[in-house]
Amino acid sequence: MRLRFLPSFVKRRGRITNNQEENLKSLPDYSISTFDDIDPDPSKFSHCCLEIGFGNAEHLYFQAMNNPEVLFIGSEVYMSGIGTLIGNIQKEKIINIKIFPDDIRILLDENKDKQIFDAVKIICPDPWPKERHHKRRLINADFLKLLHNSVKSEGNLFISTDWADYAEGIKETLEKSTYFEPSDDFFLKKEFLTKFEQRGLDEGREIFEFNFQKKN
């Protein structure tokens, strides 16, 4: 079967602990499978945000805990990260996180006319450092085209990376984009360094951040 998208991630499963395995049994209680499943009840939620590739979900979980009026959609394919997140959701009885446990491009591709996201965060997308793998990098013109359709007018797009040549590519792609423009406003600013950002710094790399918004 031909895949619609070239995989932008390295692994889906990885090593899974018994706790994560147990938590994953409850995934249907927290997951969405189509765009129509995102139905932010305006009596409960003022905004809706998407975090793509949440990894161990430390940032998603922190923002959801601290902003109960915002509905967060988290997308990840890495099953142990999803298992960890479900454990935290259950422990803290969090009701403002929904999980799309697959390639985010599948969900975005299916959406035709719902501009739902006030903000989108992509923190350290997989860097694919070897040149022959650059075509697997998530951030490219096709992806921005796919994404813009689901973002509200002036909705925020935040991307960070610790790989200088990926940063160059992201900058060029965003600057050429007809869908996004630079912004000084952040909606829910990133509050701390994630595991991957910290690892980048520890290994001597710099963190590059991009803050854009959807054009009117």
Q: Which residues bind ligand SAM (CB under 6 A)?
A: 8-9, 52-55, 75-78, 81, 103-105, 123-126, 138, 194-197
Considering beta carbons, is residue 15 or 93 the nearer one to ligand SAM?
15
* Three-class secondary structure of residue 93 per DSSP: coil
Considering beta carbons, is residue 129 or 215 the nearer one to ligand SAM?
129
Q: In the bound complex, which residue of the shown chain has the CB atom lying closest to ligand SAM?
A: 53
Give the whole-angstrom CA distance, residue 72 versus residue 50: 6
- From residue 158, alpha-carbon distances to 38, 95, 121, 137, 189 in Å are 21, 24, 5, 16, 9
Longest dimension (CA), the chain: 49
Give the nearest distance from C-beta 42 to ligand SAM in angstroms: 27
Angle 141-148/164-176 helices, nearest 10 degrees? Answer: 50
Give the whole-angstrom CA distance, residue 93 versus residue 65: 10
Considering beta carbons, is residue 109 or 181 the nearer one to ligand SAM?
109
Residues designated catalytic: 126
Considering beta carbons, is residue 189 or 195 the nearer one to ligand SAM?
195
Considering beta carbons, is residue 10 or 95 the nearer one to ligand SAM?
10
Give the nearest distance from C-beta 58 to ligand SAM in angstroms: 7
SS (H, E, C) 173-196: HHHHCCCEEECCCCCCCCCCCCHH
Give the nearest distance from C-beta 105 to ligand SAM in angstroms: 6
Count of C-beta atoms within a 10 Å radius of residue 136: 17
Give the nearest distance from C-beta 77 to ligand SAM in angstroms: 5
Give the whole-angstrom CA distance, residue 160 versus residue 167: 8
Give the nearest distance from C-beta 67 to ligand SAM in angstroms: 18
Smallest Cα–Cα separation from 7: which of 150, 178, 151, 125?
125
